[in-house]
Amino acid sequence: MKKFIASMALVLSATLSMQANAGLIDIELSANNVAVGDTLSVSLWASNFTDFDSLYTEFEYDISLFSYQAASLQSELPAFDGFLTGLEVTEQFYGLSLSFLDFFAFSDLNLDADNKFLLASFDLLAIDSGNTDFSLVNQVAGLFDLNTGLDTPLDVDTSSPVQASATSVPEPSSLALFMLSALMFVGRRKQ
């Protein structure tokens, strides 16, 4: 029985230590509710990452409600060079795919006091009203060893999905017409 408890403690401590070393990607939104026509800023913060030379994740959301604004993309990772390396963000039927590749281990990030860096920040334009979840799925990171020729996978966790909504705001002219008709109706009733 003592051996069983000791082995379970060893497995549990190994599991906890692996989870403690896992990189984490968090989603931050500038707001949880925006009007149609307004932009929502999204920031993806990565923390607890060791050296890595490849990273991939999918950012899912309802593309019928929000449209990606490519010109707003910012990152602390080098931008895609048009050939092979850098951070590339592409629109997909589920939202966005983010992929990063570099031929050298990327460890010279500007980490803040919380040991995190900006993976990506971008704007989404609200194009229709409704609710959507923003979530990260299918994340993979790795570190290629030039000596052995092997790619070592790295653990990557993500935060829980975040929800936001876009609402229609009546145009001022429509609101003014409604108010004017209501005043006329009240005025007629008094006569």
Check if the beta carbon of residue 43 is closer than 8 Å to that of residue 59. no
Check if the beta carbon of residue 14 is closer than 8 Å to that of residue 21. no
Tokens of 41: 């800023």
For the chain, percent of residues with pLDDT exceeding 70: 71
Residue 6 belongs to a domain: no
pLDDT for 17? 36
* E runs forming strands in the chain: 23-29, 33-35, 39-47, 52-60, 66-74, 86-92, 95-106, 116-126, 130-145, 150-154, 156-158, 162-167
Residue 94 belongs to a domain: yes
Which among 80, 79, 81, 46 has a CA at the least distance from the CA of 154? 46
Residue 10 belongs to a domain: no
Please count the structural domains in the chain.
Answer: 1
Domain that holds residue 85: 23-186
Find the distance separating the first CA and the last CA of the chain, reported in whole Å: 93
**Which residues fall within 8 angstroms of residue 123, CB to CB, at 6 or more apart?**
39, 40, 41, 42, 69, 72
Q: Give the DSSP letter of residue 78.
A: P
Is the pLDDT at 55 greater than 70, yes or no?
yes
Residue 111 belongs to a domain: yes
CATH number of the domain bearing residue 109:
2.60.40.680
Residue 172 belongs to a domain: yes
Residue 59 belongs to a domain: yes
Burial letters for 157-171: b for 16+ Cβ neighbours within 10 Å, e otherwise? ebeeebebebeeeee
Residue 12 belongs to a domain: no
Is the pLDDT at 59 greater than 50, yes or no?
yes
* Residue, of 147 and 167, whose pLDDT is higher: 167
Is the pLDDT at 3 greater than 50, yes or no?
no
Residue 3 belongs to a domain: no
